[in-house]
């Protein structure tokens, strides 16, 4: 690229995960157009009409990889630094149906990043137990839909207001925060939040593809002997689907909604690429999403963006768009 190269920020990692062909895609004999070279962190997309496209990332995972591997290789060091008192953020990005929720929450045998994080935190707490240390783990769970921030741990998903400004940080004064005593309690909380998010909705899949879910874990570690408290915050984010809305057939409301979603995702991409390039100006203010995540993006925080893609030929355009977005977030 023609951009001047400065040292890339090691706190920002971008990885790609390609899911397997679904049964439906197999039955309909769709061709696979994605090839992943895990050892090179590279993803190639076969272009039937021209040159293949090749992108490289911090890591790339093919359809045979499981979430455990992604956790151990990429996420575990980030959670370890949260336990040391730093902040962190893990995003799942991609078109609807490519495996964001599968990656973050998990599915059947493939336990997701969020519950793995909970078990990791509690294993650490048990391993470091001593009369000198006390840990306090608390959770919040919010959803962003258009201009609304909703508290998934409150009755009827109460609407929340973001306060503060860029200089001193944004915060959400009325957000529910629940102290948890075990990993299983945290999983129950996540599920309760998901049920609350779905209740009264006729099409939860559609809703979740248009809204961002942000699970926040705060870990405080107090040392009696030194009177010191360390606080680490971790945001675990299942983003809205990145697909472009087709202009034909969509209502004006739908198009406005799609424009909003795209605006939030592009502002997130701008923030991550500014951080990756150590740019002096990071445009946190441009969306509610980046406002509420500001303190776990940048500074000493670690960020991982997992870009999810599907392998089938009919997704070619969206796949290339996702790979470009992820590549722009951090060009290797």
User: CB of 242: closest distance to Mg ion in angstroms?
Assistant: 12
101 part of the interface to Mg ion, by CB under 5 A = yes
Helix/strand/coil percent split, the chain, to 5: 35, 30, 35
Q: At what angle do helices 316-329 and 252-276 cross, to 10 degrees?
A: 40
Q: Residue 98 or residue 154: which is nearer to ligand ADP going by CB?
A: 98
User: What track of x and - describes contact with ligand ADP for positions 107 through 146 (by CB under 6 A)?
Assistant: x---------------------------------------
User: What track of x and - describes contact with ligand ADP for positions 198 through 237 (by CB under 6 A)?
Assistant: -----------x----------------------------
Please give the C-alpha separations between residue 197 and each of 201, 292, 306, in angstroms, as whole numbers.
8, 19, 23
Question: Is residue 36 within 8 Å of residue 62, measured between CB atoms?
Answer: yes
Q: Which does 107 bind (CB under 5 to 8 A by kind): ligand ADP, Mg ion, none?
A: ligand ADP
Q: Choose one: 100-108, 119-127, 188-196, 272-280; the region binding ligand ADP (CB under 6 A).
A: 100-108
Rg (CA), the chain: 20
DSSP for 273-301, written as a single string: HHHHTT-S---GGG-HHHHHTGGGSSTT-
Nearest to 162 by CA among 260, 294, 274: 294
Q: Which does 296 bind (CB under 5 to 8 A by kind): Mg ion, ligand ADP, none?
A: none
Q: Residue 22 or residue 313: which is nearer to ligand ADP going by CB?
A: 22
Question: Is residue 215 within 8 Å of residue 139, measured between CB atoms?
Answer: yes
Q: Which does 269 bind (CB under 5 to 8 A by kind): Mg ion, ligand ADP, none?
A: none
What are the tokens at 160? 């929340």
Q: Which of 12, 59, 100, 234 binds ligand ADP (CB under 6 A)?
A: 100
DSSP 3-state of 208: helix
User: CB of 246: closest distance to ligand ADP in angstroms?
Assistant: 18
**Scanning the structure block, which residue is given the tokens 């137990």?**
129
Residue 40 CB neighbours (<10 A)? 13
User: CB of 63: closest distance to ligand ADP in angstroms?
Assistant: 7
Contacts of 21 (CB under 8 A, 6+ apart): 30, 32, 63, 310, 311, 312
Q: Which of 41, 88, 99, 193 binds ligand ADP (CB under 6 A)?
A: 99
Q: Which of 11, 74, 89, 97 binds ligand ADP (CB under 6 A)?
A: 97
Start-to-end CA distance of the chain, whole Å, equals 10
Question: What is the CB-side half-sphere exposure of residue 62 using CA atoms within 13 A?
Answer: 14
Q: Residue 19 or residue 233: which is nearer to Mg ion going by CB?
A: 19
Q: Residue 208 or residue 301: which is nearer to Mg ion going by CB?
A: 208
Q: Choose one: 37-45, 93-101, 151-159, 194-202; the region binding ligand ADP (CB under 6 A).
A: 93-101
With residue 23 as reference, give the H or E element that holds it: helix 23-27
Question: Is residue 271 within 8 Å of residue 297, measured between CB atoms?
Answer: yes
194 part of the interface to Mg ion, by CB under 5 A = no
Q: In the range 290-319, which residues lie near ligand ADP by CB under 6 A?
A: 308
Q: Choose one: 97-105, 152-160, 245-253, 284-292; the region binding Mg ion (CB under 5 A).
A: 97-105
Residues that bind ligand ADP (CB under 6 A): 19-20, 22, 94, 96-102, 107, 209, 308
Residues that bind Mg ion (CB under 5 A): 100-101, 208
């Amino acid at each position: 690229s023609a951009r001047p190269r400065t040292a890339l920020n090691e706190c920002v990692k971008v990885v790609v995960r390609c899911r397997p062909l679904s049964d439906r895609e197999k039955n309909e004999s769709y061709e696979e157009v994605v090839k992943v070279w895990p050892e090179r962190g590279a993803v190639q997309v076969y272009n039937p009409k021209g040159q293949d496209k090749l992108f490289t990332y911090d890591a790339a995972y093919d359809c045979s990889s499981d979430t455990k591997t992604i956790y151990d290789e990429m996420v575990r060091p980030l959670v370890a630094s949260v336990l040391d008192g730093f902040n962190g953020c893990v995003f799942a990005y991609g078109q609807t149906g490519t495996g964001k929720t599968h990656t973050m929450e998990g599915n059947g045998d493939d336990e997701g990043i969020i519950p793995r994080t909970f078990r990791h935190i509690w294993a650490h707490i048990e391993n470091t137990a001593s009369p000198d240390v006390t840990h306090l783990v608390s959770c919040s769970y919010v959803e962003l839909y258009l201009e609304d921030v909703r508290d998934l741990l409150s009755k009827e998903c109460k609407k929340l207001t973001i306060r503060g400004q860029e200089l001193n940080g944004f915060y959400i004064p009325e957000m529910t925060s629940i102290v948890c005593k075990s990993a299983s309690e945290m999983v129950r909380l996540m599920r309760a939040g998901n049920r609350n998010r779905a209740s009264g909705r006729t099409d939860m899949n559609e809703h979740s593809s248009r809204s961002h879910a942000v699970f926040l874990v705060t870990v405080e570690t107090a040392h009696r002997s030194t009177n010191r408290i360390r606080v680490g915050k971790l945001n675990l984010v299942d983003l809205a689907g990145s697909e472009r809305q087709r202009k034909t057939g969509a209502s004006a409301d739908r198009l406005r909604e799609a424009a909003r979603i795209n605006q939030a995702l592009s502002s997130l991409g701008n923030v991550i690429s500014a951080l990756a390039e150590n740019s002096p100006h990071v445009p946190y203010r441009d969306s509610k999403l980046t406002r509420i995540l500001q303190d776990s993006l940048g500074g000493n925080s670690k960020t991982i963006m997992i870009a999810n893609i599907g392998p089938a030929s009919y997704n070619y355009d969206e796949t290339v768009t996702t790979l470009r977005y992820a590549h722009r977030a951090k060009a290797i």
